[in-house]
Structure 1
Amino acid sequence: MQKAESGVPLQKPESFMKRRKHVFGLKDKAKKRFIHLFVHSGGLLFLISFLLGRALILSTVAPFAAAFFAAVFVMKKEKTALTTVGLLLGATMASMSQGLYAGASIFYFLLFLGILRKLVKRQGKVLPLAVMLATFAGRISITFMYTQTVDSLAIWVAMVEAGLSFVLTMIFLQTVPLLSMRRRRTVLKNEEIICCIILAASVLTGTIGWTLYGLSIEHMLSRYLVLLLALSAGATVGTTVGVVTGLILSLAQIGNMYQLSLLALSGLLGGLLREGRRPGVGLGLILATLLIGMYMHDISGLAPLIMESVVAIGLLMITPSIVTDRLARFIPGTQEHAHVQQQYLRKVRDVTAGRVEQFSQLFQTLSTSFSTHLQKPAQEESDEEVDYFLSHVTEKTCQTCFKKNQCWAKNFDQTYGLMQGTMREMETSETIKDPRLKREWNQHCIKPDRVLEVMQKEMAFHHANLHLKKQMQESRQLVAEQLLGVSQVMGDFAKEIQRERDHHQSHEEVILETLEGLGIEIDQVDIYSLEQGNVDIEMTVPASFEYGEADKIIAPILSDILQETIVLRKEEQSVQANGPCFMTFASNQRYKIETGMANAAKGGAWVSGDSYSAVHLNKSKYAIAISDGMGNGERAHQESTETLQLLQSILQSGIEERIAIKSVNSVLALRTNEEMFSTLDLAMIDLQDASAKFIKIGSTPSYLKRGSQVFKIESGNLPIGILREFDVDIIHQSLKAGDLLIMMSDGIFEGPKHVENYDIWMRRKIKELDTEDPQDIADLLMEEVIRTRQGQIEDDMTVAVTKIAHNHPRWSTFSAHDKKAQ
């Protein structure tokens, strides 16, 4: 390509681009015309029909014509006439008697088909049965026409021919639909593959006797077929094609019996050498030809065999790659088929993720819609409320006053200002306290007491209306936040669906090579995430390890490769005996949690109104919660338990903590008219960085012990269920290894008797603790409180103690490369 002086490549001439487009356009048109003529217009069916009309077994038996005609008649009825012409033309060119037999078989088939459809209830058996009877009748008729007699040998031949036609009909019924390129399925079943091979071999029998420069066309095409399938699908399919094709050709001509061995061995060797692509497959055919040829012939007879194999290899070399690739797509077990399946799964995944993303956008739009109505200015809303209030007052007072026109038409601003000021005064008291305003109001209005009386009555409705509107606004705000939370969760889920494995192929190969270098056999490695702190790797091994190799060797090696501590998360053994084992490796959590709980019901009862929970929300977040239902007993226990269950379900779905708390409060406040409420003390700890969030809704303080220091954690939120809307204060705190977090219900905090300052007493008791075991601390605090009450349990009591510690893996990381070097 020429370059300009500035060094920028010159653009190709427009005429060149037009010629190029014209050439590619001609190629596309030629390709479309070829497909239309050869496939859609029936050219392929005509060629197959012609060759099957000529095909014979043992130079006498011809079971193909009637069977193929019946399959086309049922599956592609519009191509029946073209198929009939092809069958009769091919049979007649072979011999006149074979042409007459083909015509008679087709005639008898149509006759018997019409009769059997009326007599037989199961229509699925009608077609093969009609073909069998037609073949038998046609053979007997033609034999009688030529010989004027039918001996037992002719009857036996007719019976064998009829039996073969019965079987071939069912085979052709599987293959005729596959002759169209308008396919939707991307995989062939094993039965369909075998049926296609039988059809191809049957068609090749129609070329028996044809030669080109002394070389058998039948031999060249059959070897080409074996090479093509061996290259596309491998040794298994190649060997199958060789055996089936060689068997059918051997039955067609006794002299071709050695072809069975030659083709089968060619398919096997060619498939094994498939990694060498076309030259490798061709080498397999040459080796098979030399081996079988030296066994069956002398040196002088090898030349034709080798030339036929060379021609078959030449045909394979000029075959476009698109042919072998498309063939491989339809055959299970090939890389091309696996790639197509991956593309299909990726498409399904993308469609699913797209739908989830659409729902996410829908919820976000709904949230925005709710929020839009909440953005009205407060002053504008206040002015509207004043106008509504004054309109109701004037409707009952000024409308019937004879000075209405004087006040509202001539002195509107003065009247409106006085009534607005009076309304503001009435909001805080029942009378006007401002003497100046009272004097002006009495001078301006002739019925001031009547107006004030109506204002007092309307003020109650006004306050109720304001309260109702505030509740509606708060409900809309909550719904908007909930919809936004659902939108964020669905958006994260859509991203999770779309995570790719292809980008981690290099890491997978490194892991496989490293483990195999240490003598550890691994079937498969799938990396789903390499994000720092969120590594997710799955492995499949032939059988379970007996000595914990996964935890002791594989996890430390992964830690060395990824430069992050990796641990064995899960190990599953196959349900089959000696089956594969599936293992999941993930990032090691930097911190671990140890929790101790102590709980006692009021008066030593079985059921406590307090409930507690400690659960993993996801891979790196841990939650500890205590809820105290109002009162004691079964009802309080049910209230606190439902609060924790609701909260746990919402948090585990991925919704943010603030929205989760408000959602729980909304449900509890709306579900019943009874005054039932619960406190909530929630701590959420991130096990990767030890950061913690504390949400305290009507609960008692919590305490953090760090060495000899004790810190207090508290908040002033009201209990859940009292108000339908409230602000949630979240307290953020960084924790360290060795910290002790102590959470308690009011039965523990306010339980000590004869204590003036509960906070000082609790701090002193926590500071005096000699143990760091969470369960021991919980039991000791419970015991201390009960002792101050002389052994009496005056209220439900719950205490939860959590210890933060570094999470060290059981086995240290080591480098596999260092081991190899040593």
Structure 2
Amino acid sequence: MQENTKPKRVSRLTERLGEKDPAGSRRRLIWLGKQLMLGAIAYLMGLGRLAFDTRPFGIALLCASGGQVTGILGGLILAEVALGENTVPMIVVYAVAAVVRLTARMLMESPVTAVTLPEALRQLLNPTPAAVRTGSPTRSDRKRSVVLGEQLRATFSDSLALRSATAAVGMLTVSMARVISGGFRFYDWFAMALSVIVAPAAVVLFANALEGRRDRYLLYPISAGFLMAALVWSADFAEIAGVPVSLLLALLLSLAVASFAGVWYGAAAGVVCGVACRPVLIPAFLIAALICGGLRGRGKGTVGIPLACLGALGWSVYILGAAEAVVLLPAYLAVGTVMTLAVSLADRRVTEPAQVDGGEDAVTLRQVRDRHEDSNERFRDLSDAFSGLSEMFYNLSDRLRRPGTLDLRRICDSSFDAVCSDCPNKTVCWGLEYSETLAVMSALIAQLHTKGRVDGEQVPEHLRHRCRSMDLILRQINAGCARLTGELLRSSRTEVLAMDYEAAANLINDALAEDGGEYRSDPELENRVSVYLRDAGIGFGSVTVYGKRRRQIFVRGVDTERAKVTLDTLRGDLSEMCGLALGKPTFEVEDGTSSMLLQAQRCLSVAGAQYNLAGEDVSGDTVNLFANRKDYFYALINDGMGAGKEAALTSGLCSVFLEKMLRAGNRAATALRMLNNLILSRCPDSERECSSTVDLMELDLITGKASFIKSGAAPSFIVRDGTVRRLQAGSAPIGIIRKLDAQAVEFDLRAGDTVIMVSDGILQDDPECEWLTSYLVSCGTREPEGIVYDICSHAAGFPSHDDCSALALRIGGAE
């Protein structure tokens, strides 16, 4: 009897949810989303400043809006609270302007106005032509009220006088309060004049853009451009994770206009946004708009967007430097992702019908699958193109880094001249045996061009016996060649371009591989689940099982009224069938049809602690613990080579880069290769060593599989049931050689395990880990905070200790 209680409750809940109006809920969600978007725009507009510290764009947007006052007013109030400058007068002015706009909208929307105004005020608001005034009188008061309502509606809708006047009066009021409180300074008088002029002008331009008055063929593009420029300019006063919002909006608007209005409009938008954001980045936004709009016109919009973002990123790195790539890369990737989703949704609304009947489900599913396969093919082609470009740039870089024959001859001539000028045997070598000496120099030049350095093999024995300075000459030749090669490397960016294209290809390949595994259905498991549901007395329309690691079971048209099992039993049986722990089933109702969804859930949880002791004033170690939305947990220790601020900078850069990439869901191997390339590209411009060790643990919280990836890092330890297991790998730190030298050690963790990771400073006087191993055996159930404190305190007791870092992770069951 208990087994049928929960299904019946779920069924009754499904019936109650089905009685709701889905169309009304959808309209409310759309309205809420629109208000939030307008509120965000208003917030940015409220932050924008012009000369003399004036902010007229906020009230201009409020007065120009067509009635969407709620979100805009909220955004402007939040902007004033965030600024904390002259807050009360501005909020009062915004509130009064909002009341005026709402009153106007009420009069506009009323079909018959019952308000009786004095004749003089009515003529002032809307003067009636003489021909109308001398016409035949109306036959009823109702007719006169209808005419008055139409005149008022025409005044508020067709004329911008009231909205412009509202903005001007509002800015005049705020400016006058500023003049009085500031002691009547000329600066404040100029601010008043500028605000009163700019606010009504902005209202006119904003209104034409927001109302979409495309019939005004000349004014509308100017208004739209002014609105974009004002928004980008205002967004420059806000930041997200250290990136100015203006950069994101400028690229987003350029791509959006190019995608939906055409390539030339997109190019114009890129120029306008670049002027308002950063003039030096105008080519970046122009390149992005041209690439996106050009490929969009050929039906390749989803391919054009990532190419456009890469083009903009390439120019930005070229102008701003490689150090900005760490900050700009996630921002440009986010813009590209948003635009790809927007274009895909827009294409879907155009190509697919609004509603699909049951008989058309198979056709629609086939279309979706064909489209998905086509998108995958295009991304594979794009990945192949990036890989080919990367190989070409690597080959070109390898050629460019080799000095030419003439340069090598000059190096050899100068090296011989520096030594031979004072040599007593000069008349023999460069006189009697000139041809033989010249042949030796030619052989040295050939060897230098082939191997990059010279040795004594090309020098005859009699010449080495006669010239006791030959070793010095060879060392000078090698030193000169090394200097010239370094200069060529620093002046050439082709290898950096090759690394960028290789990284882009790797990211696309990883995304395709993940999509192929996590969104591929499993027909065999679908049949097994269907048989189980029928045997359990659960009715259903269709069963879909997809995903590999994050498996999901979606049952459409589910009916649990006659179920023979409880929901807990159902979850346990399906978990055993899938080989993964599934969460509690969730039920949804859409268009009167109920659906059930079961998703894979975490089987482990992590409680961690970290501790760091600096050997000098600044620690060169960086310790980090974080997780991403794909149910992976990461523990990371970076130890910058060297000491002091340079080591701290390198380790901090590595930690931030890896966290950003891994949080975004990228594979650890790809992120490490990109980091290695980044450090390599930074090293030629640095006077000090800038390599770093990487000790990374990646734990899959769903399956319990852990991967310990080490690049020049110290051993790690796992304590299980009083037994200590030591994991180590011999490899070089990142940033030293172009090919990543990292090794991974796999281990299956379970609840009750304790993971210890340390930097090399912990083991400087204990290379065999004898003390640490004995301590871990005896630590028992000690909390992670106490473990890391004991380890670092013991290492700090050595006479001259290095930076000491340790982290401890206690693995627990699912929460």
TM-score (norm 1): 0.42
Higher normalized contact order (CA 8 Å, seq sep 6+, divided by chain length): 2
Higher Rg: 1
TM-score (norm 2): 0.42
